Amino acid sequence: MKSILIVVDKAPYGYEDTFSAFYVSIACINKGMQADVLLLGDGVYAAIKGQKPGGTVNYPNVVELSYLIFPESKIFVHSHSMEERSIKDEDLVEAAQVIDDIELGKILLSKTKDKAFIRM
């Protein structure tokens, strides 16, 4: 396997999964492997800018983690999941790349060879 697509469909802070997904991506990049993150469903909340978990839940800030994988790896954010949650493009961090269902299909189909899929 040459690259990884990590799929996150849970909201950050509510679950450990988003942090763990970024930790895997960071480890892969440090080992010379591209590890893109795909945010789907409630996972799209991880790409919203201006998050302030410090002083509240005191969890790591997922936005800061997202900048540790960018630009070596991509952060795909599913547009339909954003619309369902009234999240607009301008609400997202710069590193986020919004993709629609057609682009999502292309990403999944075009990168299946030698690509591992990890769902958190």
Chain residues that interact with other proteins, rule: CB under 8 A:
1-2, 4, 16-17, 20, 23-24, 27-28, 30-31, 33, 35, 116-120
Distance between CA atoms of residues 102 and 25, nearest Å = 24
Using the structure block, give the residue that is written with the tokens 């369902």.
84
For other proteins, the closer of residues 16 and 83 by Cβ is 16
Name the CA dihedral angle for 39, 21, 4, 98, rounded to a multiple of 10 degrees: 20
For other proteins, the closer of residues 31 and 52 by Cβ is 31
Shortest reach from residue 33's CB to other proteins, in Å: 5
Shortest reach from residue 65's CB to other proteins, in Å: 13
For other proteins, the closer of residues 6 and 92 by Cβ is 6
* Assigned token pair, 89: 């493009």
Distance between CA atoms of residues 42 and 12, nearest Å = 8
Shortest reach from residue 49's CB to other proteins, in Å: 26
For other proteins, the closer of residues 33 and 107 by Cβ is 33
Short-list 1, 110, 22, 11, CA closest to 73: 22
Asked if 48 contacts 91 with a C-beta cutoff of 8 angstroms, the reply is yes
Shortest reach from residue 26's CB to other proteins, in Å: 8
